[in-house]
């Protein structure tokens, strides 16, 4: 039983570091505010999806956030 708790704690800490790194490395939403008045509809309806490094960071943030929440919940039950 102790090994399960240790494994969950290791997964929790790893996902925590990945989540922190992904959030700190991702560009801010205010980076492209120069055309915010004219281009508001484009950002609302999706001009184009983020590609490359931003897409990887977004995916890493989502996955590590879900893993973090699930392992924290399971660890609190155990």
Separation of CA 11 from chain center: 16
Q: Region 45-71: what's the mean pLDDT? A: 83
The pair of three-digit structure tokens given for residue 14, joined into one six-digit string: 């790893």
Rounded CA separation 73/28 (Å)? 29
pLDDT digits (tens, 9 = 90+) for 27-51: 877 655 555 555 555 555 555 556 7
Length in residues, the chain? 78
Model-wide pTM > 0.75 = no
pLDDT at 58 over 80: yes
Task: Locate all alpha helices (DSSP H) within the chain, ordered by sequence.
Answer: 2-25, 40-45, 53-77
């Amino acid at each position: 039983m102790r090994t399960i708790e240790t494994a969950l704690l290791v997964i929790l800490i790893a996902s925590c570091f990945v989540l922190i790194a992904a959030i700190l490395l991702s560009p801010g939403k205010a980076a492209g505010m120069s055309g915010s008045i004219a281009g508001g509809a484009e950002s609302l309806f999706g001009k184009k999806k983020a590609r490359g490094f931003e897409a990887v960071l977004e995916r890493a943030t989502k996955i590590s956030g879900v893993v973090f929440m699930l392992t924290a919940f399971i660890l609190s039950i155990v």
